Structure 1
Amino acid sequence: MRTPIRRLVRTAAALAVVLGLAACGAEPVWAPDEVVSQARYVPEGPAKVTLLTMIANRDGSGGHTALLIDGPERVLFDPAGSWFHPMVPERNDVLYGMSPQFYDFYIDYHARETYHVVSQELDVTPMQAAMLIEAVEAYGAVSPARCSLAVSDVLARTPGFEGMSRNLFPTRTMAQFAQLPGVREERIYDDDSDDNYELLNAQANAARVAAEMAATE
């Protein structure tokens, strides 16, 4: 059983939660080795990547881009993103321990009355997944409003994704990814309030209580 992580690994990030989704904001973060090791989550099933694009319901513009990688472990590359959780350690925009619960939290945070999430899933080889994890870990903290550029850059430099180009626009990255053979697409909508500060607090409390209950069983 995984030991609950009680350390807040992103103390300054609370200031970012009040920012809008489109205004991606991030700062350099480096969780300790033992925290990352404790949080490690190994997914079931084949290696795959999932491109996540947040789309404005008002006009269809892109608000944010992230990349979920299922390989030897699951990591989420969330460049300049605003979601955080005290039990999900981060190293410069790479989030570790993204179990199904935390992945659902992430999606619930982004899908709301003003945005929906486009999920594009693609099976890859274990080698491709490992290369992508290595690439995002080496990428470094991403500047605001460069989320799509970071994700498209990582993909374009990975064998099998050479047809993609580096660009600043989430919808363009999404459209290019959609052209890859075998992509499975889903759109996720929710009518939650656009003010998601309380949601982050509720997610943190729910995960903490669940971990404490599991530890006593």
Structure 2
Amino acid sequence: MRKWLLILAAAGLTAGCAVKHDPPVTDQQIIDATYKHDAPAELTLYTMISNTNGSGAHTSMMINASQRVIFDPAGTFRDKKIVARNDVVYGVTPYVEDVYTRFHARKTYHVVIQRLQVSPEVAEQAMRLAQSMGEVTDGHCAQSTSTILSQLPGLNIKPTYFPKNLMGQFGEAPLMSTQSLYEYDEDDKTRALKAYDPTKARDSYARQKARLAAAKN
């Protein structure tokens, strides 16, 4: 009974995690959306914190591996204009990254962003684990993310249901940076999705490819 009550409490604290079934996407759509970010391999942990009581509301993770994706377990950053399968969002250009963080930051919540540089092998392992996780159920955002991190060498992360607990554990690593994003928009995340422009996402990708090509010449 005590274990069941603990799970219920954890689910209540992570009420910001809400399953949103993705529109089905094809393998080709995922291939077409693939974005390779010109930066070192990195894990970025996002923790959404209530501005009212300081509790953790949601956990997610951006992974810069052979491509850059966001693992958004039981998240709501879903739209027919966004390429996502299960809980992995593809094509995470700088524009998409910016929209994602501002989607979550509003007058009721802020986002703590912790960046950790890792080896390409560790980043790739994290991405594969996220892709194999499937669709995460309500209240398991921190649990699923911490389960992935617990399997990566050198991090010493223990699985937890609590976003702030995971944030604290992740903060024990030698982070590249930590920042908090505050926005004071109305508490309506759908506005950010309505404003999402796939053209800007493609343009962001095109500019990145042009920089890569110029750097090689």
TM-score category (smaller protein):
0.7 to 0.9
For structure 2, the residue ranges without an aligned partner over 5 or more in a row are: 1-13, 207-217
Q: CA deviation at 1:199?
A: 2.6
Segment of structure 1 superposing worse, 194-203 or 65-74: 194-203
1:184 lines up with 2:203 in the alignment: no
Same amino acid, percent of matched pairs: 35
Task: Please name the residue that 1:199 is paired with.
Answer: 192
Q: CA deviation at 1:202?
A: 1.5
CA contact (8 A) 1:49 1:121 kept: yes
1:21-100 maps to which residues of 2 (within 5 A)? 22-27=16-21, 30-100=24-94
Q: Distance in 2 between matches of 1:87 and 1:100?
A: 16
Q: CA deviation at 1:195?
A: 1.5
Q: Distance in 1 between matches of 2:57 and 2:153?
A: 27
1:100-142 deviation per Cα after TM superposition (whole angstroms, max 9, x unaligned): 1111111111000000000000000000011111111111110
Q: Tell me the SS of whatever aligns to 1:192.
A: coil
CA contact (8 A) 2:95 2:200 kept: no
Q: CA deviation at 1:196?
A: 2.3
Q: Distance in 2 between matches of 1:48 and 1:90?
A: 20
1:141-186 deviation per Cα after TM superposition (whole angstroms, max 9, x unaligned): 100110000000000011122x211111000000000001234200
1:87-111 deviation per Cα after TM superposition (whole angstroms, max 9, x unaligned): 3311110110011111111111100
Q: Distance in 2 between matches of 1:66 and 1:136?
A: 11
Q: Tell me the SS of whatever aligns to 1:167.
A: coil
Q: CA deviation at 1:207?
A: 3.1
Q: Distance in 2 between matches of 1:177 and 1:28?
A: 28
Give the letter for the 2:73 counterpart. Answer: P
1:62-211 maps to which residues of 2 (within 5 A)? 62-161=56-155, 163-203=156-196, 206-208=197-199
For structure 1, the residue ranges without an aligned partner over 5 or more in a row are: 1-19
Q: CA deviation at 1:38?
A: 0.5
Q: TM-score normalized by structure 1?
A: 0.82
Q: Tell me the SS of whatever aligns to 2:31.
A: helix
Give the letter for the 2:121 counterpart. Answer: M
Q: Distance in 1 between matches of 2:186 and 2:15?
A: 13
CA contact (8 A) 1:120 1:184 kept: yes
CA contact (8 A) 1:132 1:154 kept: yes
Q: Distance in 1 between matches of 2:84 and 2:201?
A: 21
Q: Distance in 1 between matches of 2:75 and 2:42?
A: 21
Provide closer, same or farther for how the CA distance between residues 91 and 182 of structure 1 changes in structure 2, counting only shifts above 3 A: same
Q: Distance in 1 between matches of 2:50 and 2:16?
A: 9
CA contact (8 A) 2:73 2:135 kept: yes
CA contact (8 A) 1:25 1:145 kept: no
Cα RMSD between the aligned structures?
2.2
Q: CA deviation at 1:198?
A: 2.6
Q: Which runs of 4+ in 1 moved over 6 A?
A: none
Higher helix share: 2
